[in-house]
Structure 1
């Protein structure tokens, strides 16, 4: 069965400016591209991408998965909406492109947290770590699944999907969204 996109929603959210280079002036605009695809099989695909712009907004100085940029911590404190978006981004971004099962990804997350594995470790390092704890190959949907051998889909919980749709459909500005939260 071929799965197709039935509906696609996206939105660019503007969060004002930050002091990205710590020079004492907020000169770098921050925007977030937020999108959701409804698929013909009834599932959803979610993606988020951030941009931190140069002074004249002619080029980005940090972009893509810049979720962990420390300068964005201030935005999360200033805007409830940015804090929510950051949470949804970290949990559900590219929910159809998981290299591991839930069990494997939880083990890797614990390894990062405990320092047993670097957060930016490469594929081979992750595989070796999973082999060392007996989780490189695990049962998944009735058969043996080897970490990274396919892209796995992880559904978005209904409450998170409701929040994503609120951001995409129900608000016109960040301030309006902040007021709703």
Structure 2
């Protein structure tokens, strides 16, 4: 038996989840309609948080539009909106599992909705977004097999120049492994 002098001191332990937590999300007891609602909630919250700026740009007639498109033949779901997009400053938080939003008064409370829902549907998904007022469009791709096998902790974000007044988000869920029938 080790005496106190021979034992290794343990002053602190890391408790931040690593990227392998994403693989657990596909095993949750979810329903397709609930998962899609997570994406729609994000669009609505983006609109609510940026309503004044959107109306200043487009006038009082501006309406939020969210489109959920199902392509059964190609096993693909695409969710698009004309809300304010994801700001560059929010990218690290928006795509990190269990990163609680700075403002929890709206629809986003725990920082898991989009990631949980996307990973529940498929291991291959992407987000392309253009934030209102920013001069770039950003794209990030998730391939859970690559993330887990490579023990990746960071994903590259592709930035391209864009009109600063453009604003949207496109979430694309590809290679869906399950039959796409309403539940």
* TM-score of the alignment, normalized to the shorter chain, above 0.5: no
Bigger relative CO (Cα 8 Å, ≥ 6 apart)? 2
TM-score, scaled relative to structure 1: 0.29
Greater helix proportion: 1
TM-score, scaled relative to structure 2: 0.29
